[in-house]
């Protein structure tokens, strides 16, 4: 385990270059096993979730070469082995091997995936979709056995526009016989990125990025080169930070269109921004104004930025209400923020109120999940004095080089081994 130690209260300025998207890369890597030849994926973030997927690929017998942000995956010799529970529990995205291996071998045996504890995180929509494609799903002792004589295209309507289910069903359907239509599909940029990757390999997918995705099954997927889309959640996290203590902080290598809901909120809050083709430059205003946030599926306000935003709202004048509609357990950062001097209160599992501005003071706090960790990093940088964030490994799951990136813009931050 690691801890992050921050000496807060320093103004930040300079450039933060955004890495490839975690939630895209964690789907693209499992998707690569669908190809019988070598594929190359560039702009892959160097985060621990990718290390865990690399471990799974090695276990299955793939040849994986990683060089900086480039990963080459040759799955031509992989075997259909059970992925050990210790590895599949390391991250949520291990579930993408369900769709990919089901498509490749017509059989997959896998344990329930892991991931941050931010809610119940069922996978019923994934399983229901596999069944619609002709698979049989059996569940026993936390293990799923999914088999199919033949996968056939089907019409699948998702009860909820789930990111994971949409991607997993694209993976399962890509080589199915006939046409699959997924309606009420998720529309996040990573859905488009995964569909483009599969199309680069020869798949026939249209409509990704809209609520209806059509997949015409193909027999063969070939070698290709593909690039991970920039991480709009990483970008948004640093935009929120810059809005509180930034002086001309440039967040570069981004697609500003992916950040429209955050940009619009920051405008309401009073943050001036210069928006370029692939960058946003932010200086903190004298005064931040309270606002209300309701998390929604893309293009609504992303749940993954809700916790970082909570830290900003502790510095805004007035009362802000946060309504979290996606996950049931995404307010665990508020207790830690209160320890640092914030005034926040949970109104229900899905609603919290924050009254600001309150001065934050460095304290010893604990990250309970990835984005709660990001919320505390922001708080530590804003606070006076020393903040120690325990359980920092959560943060390393999703933010490439966070300590170096923040040091480069003037933060006093370090990563150390923790004995706790
Ligand atoms: N849901 C179901 N049944 C399902 C699938 C989802 O009820 O079969 C519910 C979930 O319980 C939740 C909602 O649908 O209430 C959204 O779930 P979704 O499937 O969209 O989320 P996910 O695929 O498990 C991904 C990201 C999350 C991000 C969400 C929402 C990955 C690996 N994870 O999770 O990222 O919060 O989409 O955008 O892509 C993070 O990066 O910190 C993170 C948690």
Phi, psi of 98 (to 5 degrees): -65, -55
158 and 288 in a common domain: no
For residue 297, the CA-to-ligand 1 centroid distance in Å is 10
* Token pair in block for residue 24: 């895209």
Q: Which atom of ligand 1 is nearest to the CA of 303?
A: 36
Helix axes 163-173, 189-200, angle to 10 degrees: 10
217 in Cβ contact with 180 (< 8 Å):
yes
- Which of 227, 258, 287 lies at the terminal end of a domain, its last residue? 227
* Token pair in block for residue 364: 């010893």
Among 18, 35, 116, 215, the active-site one is 116
249 in Cβ contact with 12 (< 8 Å):
yes
49 and 12 in a common domain: no
pLDDT at site 121? 82
Q: Which atom of ligand 1 is nearest to the CA of 164?
A: 23
Strand order in the sheet with 155-157: 155-157, 179-183, 212-216, 204-206
For residue 164, the CA-to-ligand 1 centroid distance in Å is 6
* Token pair in block for residue 291: 């606002």
pLDDT at site 328? 87
Least Cα distance to 127 among 156, 104, 90, 93 occurs for: 156
CATH of the domain at 397: 3.65.10.10
Measure the CA–CA gap between 168 and 189, rounded to whole angstroms.
15
Tell whether ligand 1 has an atom less than 6 A from the beta carbon of residue 291: no
- Which of 195, 210, 227 lies at the terminal end of a domain, its last residue? 227
265 and 135 in a common domain: no
Tell whether ligand 1 has an atom less than 6 A from the beta carbon of residue 127: no
Residue nearest to atom 18 of ligand 1 (CA): 162
Q: Which atom of ligand 1 is nearest to the CA of 166?
A: 19
Tell whether ligand 1 has an atom less than 6 A from the beta carbon of residue 303: yes
Tell whether ligand 1 has an atom less than 6 A from the beta carbon of residue 21: no
Structural domain count of the chain: 2
Catalytic residue status for 116:
yes
For residue 151, the CA-to-ligand 1 centroid distance in Å is 25
342 and 207 in a common domain: no
- The residue range of the domain holding 331 is 2-19+230-417
- Mean per-residue pLDDT pooled into runs of 10, the chain (420 residues): 96 98 98 96 95 95 96 95 89 93 95 75 94 95 92 98 98 98 98 98 98 97 98 98 98 98 98 98 98 98 98 98 95 98 96 98 97 98 98 95 98 93
203 in Cβ contact with 171 (< 8 Å):
no
pLDDT at site 123? 92
Tell whether ligand 1 has an atom less than 6 A from the beta carbon of residue 116: yes
* Residue 63: count of CB within 10 angstroms of its CB: 14
Tell whether ligand 1 has an atom less than 6 A from the beta carbon of residue 160: yes
95 and 175 in a common domain: yes
Tell whether ligand 1 has an atom less than 6 A from the beta carbon of residue 397: no
Q: pLDDT for 290-304, tens place per residue?
A: 999 999 999 999 999
For residue 168, the CA-to-ligand 1 centroid distance in Å is 12
Three-class secondary structure assignment of the chain: CEEEEEECCCCEEEEEECCECHHHHHHHHHHHHHCCCEEEEECCCCCHHHHHHHHHHHHHCCEEEEECCEEEEECCCCCCCCCCHHHHCCCHHHHHHHHHHHHHHCEEEEECCCCCCCCCCCCHHHHHHHHHCCCEEEEECCEEEEECCCCECCEEECCCCCHHHHHHHHHHHCCCECEEEEECCCCCHHHHHHHHHHHHCCCEEECECECEEEEECCCCCCCCEEECCECHHHHHHHHHHHHHHEEEEEEECCCHHHHHHHHHHHHHHCCCEEECCCEEEECCCCCEECCCEEECCCCCECHHHHHHHHHHHCCEEEEEEEECCCCCCCCHHHHHHHHCCCEEEEEECCEEEEEECCCCECCEEECCCHHHHHHHHHHHHHCECEEEEECCHHHHCCCCCHHHHHHHCCCEEEEEECCC
pLDDT at site 112? 82
* Token pair in block for residue 200: 């680069």
For residue 338, the CA-to-ligand 1 centroid distance in Å is 27
pLDDT at site 115? 72
* Token pair in block for residue 292: 């209300």
Measure the CA–CA gap between 271 and 287, rounded to whole angstroms.
9
Residue nearest to atom 41 of ligand 1 (CA): 304
271 and 192 in a common domain: no
Q: Which of 19, 22, 23 should be mutated for ligand 1, with most atoms under 8 A from CB?
A: 23
- Which of 227, 249, 271 lies at the terminal end of a domain, its last residue? 227
For residue 92, the CA-to-ligand 1 centroid distance in Å is 9
330 and 249 in a common domain: yes
56 and 7 in a common domain: no
160 and 258 in a common domain: no
352 and 221 in a common domain: no
Residue nearest to atom 11 of ligand 1 (CA): 121
Q: Residue length, the chain?
A: 420
Does a cis peptide bond (omega within 30 degrees of 0) precede residue 187?
Answer: no
164 and 79 in a common domain: yes
Measure the CA–CA gap between 35 and 39, rounded to whole angstroms.
7
Burial class (CB in 10 A: 0-12, 13-18, 19+), 236: buried
86 and 15 in a common domain: no
- Radius of gyration over every alpha carbon of the chain, rounded to an integer in angstroms: 21
């Amino acid at each position: 385990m690691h801890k992050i130690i921050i000496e807060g209260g320093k103004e930040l300025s300079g450039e933060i270059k955004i890495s490839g998207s975690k939630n895209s890369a964690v789907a693209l890597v499992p998707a690569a096993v669908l190809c019988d030849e070598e594929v190359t994926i560039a702009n892959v973030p160097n985060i621990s979730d990718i290390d865990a997927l690399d471990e799974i690929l090695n276990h299955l017998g793939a040849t994986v070469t990683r060089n900086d942000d480039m990963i080459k995956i040759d799955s031509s010799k992989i075997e259909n082995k059970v992925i050990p529970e210790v590895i599949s529990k390391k991250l949520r995205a291990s579930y993408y091997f369900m769709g990919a291996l089901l498509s490749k071998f017509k059989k997959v045996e896998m344990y329930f995936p892991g991931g941050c504890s931010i809610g119940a995180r069922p996978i019923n929509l994934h399983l229901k979709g596999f069944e619609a494609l002709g698979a049989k799903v059996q569940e026993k002792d936390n293990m799923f056995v999914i088999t199919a004589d033949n996968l056939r295209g089907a019409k699948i309507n998702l009860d909820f526009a789930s990111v994971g289910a949409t991607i997993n069903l694209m993976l399962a359907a890509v080589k199915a016989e006939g046409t699959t239509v997924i309606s009420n599909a998720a529309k996040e940029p990573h859905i488009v990125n995964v569909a483009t990757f599969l199309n680069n390999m020869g798949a026939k997918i249209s409509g990704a990025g809209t609520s209806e995705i059509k997949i015409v099954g193909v027999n063969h997927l070939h070698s290709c080169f593909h690039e991970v889309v920039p991480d709009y959640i990483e970008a948004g996290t640093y935009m929120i930070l810059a809005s509180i203590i930034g002086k001309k902080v440039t967040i570069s290598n981004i697609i500003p269109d992916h950040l429209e809901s955050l940009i619009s909120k920051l405008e309401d809050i009073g943050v001036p921004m210069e928006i370029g083709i692939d960058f946003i430059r932010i200086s903190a205003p004298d005064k931040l104004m309270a606002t209300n946030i309701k998390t929604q599926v893309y293009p609504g306000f992303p749940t993954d930025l809700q916790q970082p935003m909570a830290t900003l709202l502790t510095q805004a004048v007035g009362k802000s209400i946060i309504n979290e509609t996606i996950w049931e357990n995404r307010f665990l950062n508020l207790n830690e923020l209160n320890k640092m001097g914030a005034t926040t209160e949970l109104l229900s599992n899905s609603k919290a109120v924050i009254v600001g501005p309150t001065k934050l003071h460095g304290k010893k706090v604990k990250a309970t999940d990835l984005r709660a960790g990001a919320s505390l990093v922001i708080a530590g940088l804003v606070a006076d004095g020393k903040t120690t964030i325990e359980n920092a490994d959560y943060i390393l799951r999703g933010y490439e080089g966070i300590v170096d990136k923040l040091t480069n813009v003037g933060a006093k931050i370090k990563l150390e081994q923790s004995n706790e």
